[in-house]
Structure 1
C-alpha cells in the first residue's frame, strides 16, 4: 500500500489534513518535528476512527528528512504523495527584524519545503505521485509586516511553478494550495504582541493598525478542516491544477495580483491595513 506523507501535523491544517486523508482511505504518514506534541493528533485520529503512522521529521534537518522518507518507502513500497505543510508564522519588518530572523523564517518555510521536495522526488517519480505545498495568499500578495514570511511563500510559489512542467514530464503532479486566514494556533505562535509593539520603534503605530485589522480578518477565518478537504480533493483529481485557492475570499484576493501589472492595486489595498481611519500613509 502506498503512503501519503504530510509534514507539520501537530495542529491546524496539517492535523486536519492527516485525519481527512486517512478518512478518505489513504495510508497517512503524519510527521512532526517533535513527537511529544502529537497528543492532539492522536486524539483527533481516535475520534475520527482512523489510524495514522506518526513519525518524526524535522524539515530543517537533512538527515531527518532523508531517513524518514527512506523508511516510509521501505515499509510501504511507494510514496503516493508528499504534502509540505510544516511552517512557522512570523510578524515583523525588515529594519527591526534583522538578517537572522529572515534566515530563520526562510529556513523553515522555504528551505524546509525545498529540502523535503528534493528528497521526495525519486520516490514520487517511481510511483508517478503527487507533490503539494501549503502556500498562502501571502505567496501571491506581499503583506505589511510579513516581509520574511511572504518572501518565503513567494519563493515556494516560484519553486513549484518552475518545477511543475519538469515534474509533469516525469509523471509527478505538482500543486500549490493557497489559503487565506485560517483559524488555527499557527497565528498564536507569533507570541506576545505587547513585546512586539515595544520593539517596533518608529513602526509602532503602523503595527498597531495592522494587528487590529488582522484580528478582524481572523474573526471570519476559514476552518483548517475546510482547507484539508481541498487538499484531499487534489489528491483524487486526475489532472490537479498547479494553484488552487481554498475559499472564494482567497481567490478574490489572489486575483487582484494577477490583473495588477504595475503593482498599484495591491499596494493601494495593503497600505490601508496599516493606517487608522482618516490617516494617510507617510513617506
Structure 2
C-alpha cells in the first residue's frame, strides 16, 4: 500500500502580534492587538491618524517594547537577532542630510551585509535621483523615494514601512508600488501603513484595520471582498436588513447605504447589493457601526 502523502506545511507568519498593548502617559496607543501577517504577503495597515500604526511598526522593528503582549518577527523576538533581515522605514525618511545620494547608496553597502548594490542603483536610476545632490537639498518626495530604495536595497525578508507613499507624487507612488510588488515577488513580506488605500487595490493581499489602538479587522482581501456587500435602498426597506451582520449603516435623505457581511447568497428583494472595493471595505470598518445620518 502506498504511503499517505505528507501534509503540506505552511511557512510561519512573518509577523505575529499577540495581545499587544502600548500606552503613552496613560493613553493606549495599542490596546490588546492580535493578528498575524502571512509570510510573502503584502499587508496594509490602515486607520485614522493616531490609530496606532506607527507604534505597531516600531514594536515590530524592535524600537519599543510593548507594555503587555508579545510581537514575534520572523519566528523570533524583535531585536538584534533579526535586524539584518528587516528593512524598516520610518515616516520621516531619516537619512544623513550632508551625504550625497551616491554616498548614501555606498553607505548602504557598508552597513548592510546583504546589500544589493546593482539593484539599489537600478532603482535610483529608474527614479532619476540626482546622484551628486546632497540629501538635505532634496525635495521631500525625492528624499522619501531614496529612503524607500535604501530599505529595498537591503534585500530584507521583512519590510516594515511607515507611510512610504505619503510624500510621493502620483507617478512616483505608482513606481514605488511596482517596486514593492517586485520585492514581494522575490519572497519578501511587506507591511506598510498607508492612507492611500486606493493605490493598493490589486496590490495588497491582506489588510489590518486599526481604530483607536484596536484591531477592527485583519483579513485576506479577496476573501473579505467576496464576503461583504454594499447595500443600497430606501429607508422604508431597512427592515430587510433585520438579522443581517451590518458593519456600517449610513442614512442619506430617504435612502441608506450599508456594508454587510454575508455568509451565504444575498437575499432577493428590493435592495441593491454590490461587491465593495477595498476602499469601501476599509472605510466601512473604520466608521464602524455608525447609524447616524
> Normalization by structure 2: what TM-score?
0.32
Higher strand share: 2
Higher helix share: 1
> Normalization by structure 1: what TM-score?
0.33
CA radius of gyration, larger in: 2
